[in-house]
Each structure stands twice: as structure tokens, then as C-alpha cells.
Amino acid sequence: GGSERMSDPDVLLAAIRRHELPEANYRWYIDLRSYGSVPHSGFGLGLERTVAWICGIDHIRQTVPFARTRNRLTP
């Protein structure tokens, strides 16, 4: 799915307070919005799921290029 990020620092701060999140953890992000930011959006494609669907693969595990296991946690 897609979404638009909050670009107004006051709205962002109100949401942080409403959800009772620690403001200090988000200060850097609020500062980014305070010094000029344009509205921007994004979406998650889900590449592995798309490849599984196109190729008719039953399990997403077979489409992950760098699978994480107990012995391998980084690509």
C-alpha cells in the first residue's frame, strides 16, 4: 500500500503525543520537517511476493535472494 508522510511538524508532534511515544526519540525527524520539507509519498512493492506471483511459486521463501537463517543474519 501507499501513503503520504506527514510534512507539518505540528501535526507530527500532535500524533506522537496522541500515541504517547517518547518525543526525544523522534526529535531528529521533527527537526527535519521544521527546516523545510516537501510532501512526499511512497509504497512498498513487495518484490519477493511479486516474483512468487509471476513465477507461480508456492512459497515466498523460494524467492528471497539472500535468505536469513540462524547461521546467516546479514546479506
Give Cα 22 to chain centroid, integer Å: 19
Cα distances from 23 to residues 12, 30, 66, in angstroms, run 10, 9, 35
**Same domain (yes/no): 40, 61:** no
pLDDT given for residue 3 in this prediction: 82
**Same domain (yes/no): 34, 51:** no
**Same domain (yes/no): 22, 52:** no
In this structure, are residues 7 and 38 in contact, taking their beta carbons and an 8 Å threshold?
A: yes
Q: Distance between CA 19 and CA 63 in Å, rounded? A: 36
Please list the alpha-helical segments (H only) found in the chain. 9-18, 23-34, 47-55
**Same domain (yes/no): 52, 35:** no
pLDDT given for residue 43 in this prediction: 80
Q: Tell me if the pTM is above 0.85.
A: no
**Same domain (yes/no): 18, 50:** no
**Same domain (yes/no): 28, 55:** no
Which domain covers residue 28, as residue numbers? 1-44
**Same domain (yes/no): 36, 51:** no
What would the pLDDT profile of 10-55 be if each residue is shown by its tens digit? 999 999 999 999 999 999 989 988 887 778 888 877 889 899 999 9
**Same domain (yes/no): 24, 50:** no
